[in-house]
Structure 1
Amino acid sequence: MSSIPISVEGFKQLEKELDRLKKERPGVIQAIKEAREEGDLSENAGYDAARERQGMLEARIKYIESRMAQFNVIDLDTISGDKVMFGATVKIEDLESGEEKEYTLLGPDEADYAKGSISVQSPVARAMLGKEEGDEIVVDAPRGKIHYEIVSIRFLGTKGQQR
């Protein structure tokens, strides 16, 4: 079983989610019980909805618990360097269009593209890992190969200050 990188903050967020989901269990069980008491289960939408919610809840709990055993928790405040690695904030430039993008490389369970972070397991991140400023990378994308240059590498940690 391989380890999965995750930041301390990402791990704490998943712990909070797991705790919240476990606290939600009794309410879902109660909803199933109440819906069952309404009678005929074959046409009981409340029962079906509660059972579906229970299934989703239990699946998410099981998923998080299984992942937690695989995590390699990394403190973003302790990493730095001149090569792209987990926790780095990397600015890249599309060599064809000149468009610049900036991503922070995080674990797959905490990456959020809308907030500027991508999974270290994504094709773009995998192409960047181990590279330095000025290096060119090639990413296989649905529209073909995209050539980028690594413009900058920063390590901001949790306090947002470059090290």
Structure 2
Amino acid sequence: MSRAFTKEEDNENAAAVLGERPVSPHRNLVTANGLAMIEAELVRLREEMAGAETEDDRERLALMARDLRYWTARRESAELSVPEAGSDVVRFGMTVALEDGDGKTARWRIVGEDEADPAKGSISHVSPMAQALFGRKAGDLVNVNGREWEIVGLSADA
């Protein structure tokens, strides 16, 4: 058996084992930034696949095709949600300022699952913190993971 035949067989096996990216069962709420991120990812993947069609890299093409299917499904199910400016209760897309009993502060923007990045201050709308915050007002107390937080501010900024 030639080495080239073995390598091609390995690439086909790797593509078959790859599997699909799981799509969340939750509503696919997105902010305007989240929708733009999805659309940019679709453009990037389509351009990358068009450039890769001449390459003999089945594993890479399989990975791009899988990601393209994922982002296409996410775009099709995306529900753009913009918070009401002036709303006095926590809603999707808002930024919430919190303070705990020790004076520690945190600011979280509640966004869609694909755009959430806790290291950058954004959390998914299905996270326990976001779920505890929805419908609450400034001054309300919320308890998450045994820790009590007071909502000290909220804004509907983009």
TM-score, normalized by length of structure 1? 0.75
- Give the letter aligned to residue 157 of structure 2: L
What is the aligned length?
134
Runs (4 or more) in structure 1 with deviation over 6 Å come to none
Query: Deviations 1:95-144 (Å, cap 9, x if unpaired)?
Result: 2x32100011111111222321111111111111111111111112xxxx
Cα distance change, pair 2–103 in 1 and its aligned pair in 2 (3 A): closer
**Residues 117 and 123 of structure 2 are in contact (CA less than 8 Å); yes or no, is this contact kept in structure 1?**
yes
Is 1:24 aligned to 2:31, yes or no? Answer: no
Is 1:128 aligned to 2:152, yes or no? Answer: no
Q: 2:62 pairs with 55, 60, 82, which one?
A: 55
- 1:52: Cα distance to partner? 2.3
- Which 5+ residue runs of structure 1 have no aligned equivalent? 33-49, 158-163
- 1:24: Cα distance to partner? 1.0
1:13-162 alignment to 2 at 5 Å? 13-32=37-56, 50-75=57-82, 78-95=84-101, 97-140=102-145, 145-157=146-158
Name the Cα RMSD after superposition.
1.7
- 1:29: Cα distance to partner? 2.5
- Looking at structure 2, the residues matched to 79 and 139 of structure 1 have their Cα atoms a distance apart, in angstroms, of 26
**Residues 38 and 74 of structure 2 are in contact (CA less than 8 Å); yes or no, is this contact kept in structure 1?**
no
- Looking at structure 1, the residues matched to 86 and 29 of structure 2 have their Cα atoms a distance apart, in angstroms, of 16
User: What's the % identity of the aligned pairs?
Assistant: 33
- 1:2: Cα distance to partner? 5.8
Query: Deviations 1:47-84 (Å, cap 9, x if unpaired)?
Result: xxx222212211111111111121111245x5440001
**Residues 90 and 154 of structure 1 are in contact (CA less than 8 Å); yes or no, is this contact kept in structure 2?**
yes
- Which 5+ residue runs of structure 2 have no aligned equivalent? 1-24
